Structure 1
C-alpha cells in the first residue's frame, strides 16, 4: 500500500501523482515524533490513521513548495494538493495508454532509504515542452555563479586522506606465519623508482622520498591527471 496524492498545476491541464510508500510514511511519522526511524509494516487493508494523514499532508505541501521553486527557471507553477488516496483504483489520473513522466527521489533517514515518485502526465507538460528544450535553465545557472565560487572556496578547505605506497610484494601464507623481527621483505619498487601518492584512494602524484625537518616526506615530481 502507498500514499497516493493527486495534485493539479494551475494553467496546466490534468492531474499528477505524488506517491509515497507506506514504509516511508511510517519512517517519517516515527522521525517527526522523536523515534529512532525504525522500519514498520503497514497492515494490509487498513487506511492510514488521522495522525499519519496529517503528517502526509504536511510533507506533501512542503514537497509541492520545493517542486514549485525548482520549476521557476522553466515555468512558474503553483502545485495544489487535490486529495489523498490509498486505493489505486481511486487515483487513476491518466488512461492506460497515455504517456507519463515519472521522477524518482530517494529519501535517506538514518540508515533507511526509501523512494518517492512524482508522476506528470505527458499531456500536462506538453504546453510547456518548448520551454523545457530552451536555454532557460542555463540562464538561471549563470545567476548562481557567486554561490558556485563560494562553494569552491569552502571545498578547498576540506580535509582528504593522502597515502604513499612504497611498493608491493607477493608472499606465501607460510612466510607470513614465520615472519620474525629482523626479516626483510623485498618490494617490487626500485630505490630510484618514483613513489606513488594516492589521495582518497586515487593515484594523483608521483614523487621521491626526502627528509623534511627531521621527518620523512615526499617531494612531488609528477602530477598525474
Structure 2
C-alpha cells in the first residue's frame, strides 16, 4: 500500500525545494560520443504503415501467372508469395548472384523502373534460355498489369534485360525498394522469382495501396475468372472408351495364347462407356472413320452447362 504524505510533510517538501536544500537534477555529461545523428530525410525512418492493397495485387498476380505459366509450359506449376520486404536498393543488389536474369520494366505514368529477377544456378545463359526467359518475363508483366489495373491504370512495358546486378541502377543505392519473393515449384525443380519496385515509384498511389479493396474486388474477381476459364478450356484431357470387362482366374490367364477369344460383359450392339479422366461422361458406338477406329457419341451421362460459350 502506498504511503500518503500529510499536509505538514508536503509543506516541508515545498519549503526545501524553494530554499535549495534538495537537488532536483543530476550532473550528467553529454559528450559527443553519446550523441547519435538523426536524418529526417532518411526513407527507412519515414516509411510507415502496411499496404494491404499491394499485398492483394501480388496475390492476384500469383493466381494469374500460375495459370499463364501452366498453360505455356503445359504442366502444373505452383506459385506462392514467400515474403515482402522493404530494404535499401544497395542491400538488395548485394544479395544477387552473378550472373542473374534481370528484366527491367516501366510502369507509366508512375516514374522509375522496376526489376523482375529470376534465380540462376551460377552459369551463363544460352541464347535459347534468354529467349525463353524474355517471353516468360513479358507474360509475367502482362499479368502484373492485369493485377494492377483495377487499382490504378498503369501501362507496364518491358525495357531490357541484364545479367550483372552492378549494371542495374534503377534507383540510388540508399533508396528504399519493395522486394517481393515468389516461390515457383515445377515438378521437382523449385526456383524463385523476385519483383523489385522502388518505393518512390508507388509513392503517388500510396493512399490507394494503404486502403483495402472495395468495389475493385468484384472487377478483379471477374478478370481472374475470365483468365481461368480461358486457360481451362485449352487444357488437355484423356478420353478412354471402355470395350468391356471380364474376370478370369490365374490359370486361365497363364494359358492364354495368340488367337484366343475373351468374352466381355458388354453386348455387341450396346453403346460403350466413354470416360474422361477416368470418370464416365458419355456413351457411344464403336466404328471406323478414315481408316481409324472411332466412337460415335450416342448420349451424355452428365448435365452440360447452359448459357456458357466455351468455344
Segments of 5+ residues of structure 1 without an aligned counterpart are 24-41, 148-225
Choose from 97, 101, 109 the match for 1:11.
109
Alpha-carbon separation, structure 2, partners of 1:70 and 1:142: 12
Alpha-carbon separation, structure 2, partners of 1:102 and 1:120: 7
TM-aligned CA deviation for residue 142 of structure 1: 4.1
Alpha-carbon separation, structure 2, partners of 1:112 and 1:138: 38
TM-aligned CA deviation for residue 21 of structure 1: 1.3
TM-score, with normalisation over the residues of structure 1? 0.51
Runs of 4+ residues deviating >3 angstroms: 142-145
CA deviations 1:73-129 (Å, max 9, x no partner) are 211222111110001111121111100001111111002221101100011000111
User: What are the residue-to-residue correspondences of 1:52-131 with 2, within 5 Å?
Assistant: 52-131=129-208
Counterpart position of 2:20: none
Counterpart position of 1:140: 216
Secondary structure of 1:93's partner? coil
Alpha-carbon separation, structure 2, partners of 1:11 and 1:121: 14
CA deviations 1:139-187 (Å, max 9, x no partner) are 2224549x7xxxxxxxxxxxxxxxxxxxxxxxxxxxxxxxxxxxxxxxx
TM-score, with normalisation over the residues of structure 2? 0.38
Alpha-carbon separation, structure 1, partners of 2:204 and 2:193: 26
Alpha-carbon separation, structure 1, partners of 2:154 and 2:110: 9
CA deviations 1:40-98 (Å, max 9, x no partner) are xx43xx4x221111101100100000011111221122211111000111112111110
Greater strand share, 1 or 2? 1
Alpha-carbon separation, structure 2, partners of 1:139 and 1:106: 30
Counterpart position of 1:27: none
Alpha-carbon separation, structure 2, partners of 1:114 and 1:138: 34
Alpha-carbon separation, structure 2, partners of 1:4 and 1:92: 12
Larger-Rg structure: 2
Secondary structure of 1:22's partner? coil
Counterpart position of 2:100: 2
Secondary structure of 2:158's partner? strand
Segments of 5+ residues of structure 2 without an aligned counterpart are 1-98, 226-311
Choose from 101, 119, 124 the match for 1:21.
119
Summarize the Cα distance change of 1:142–1:82 in structure 2 as closer, same or farther, 3 Å threshold: closer
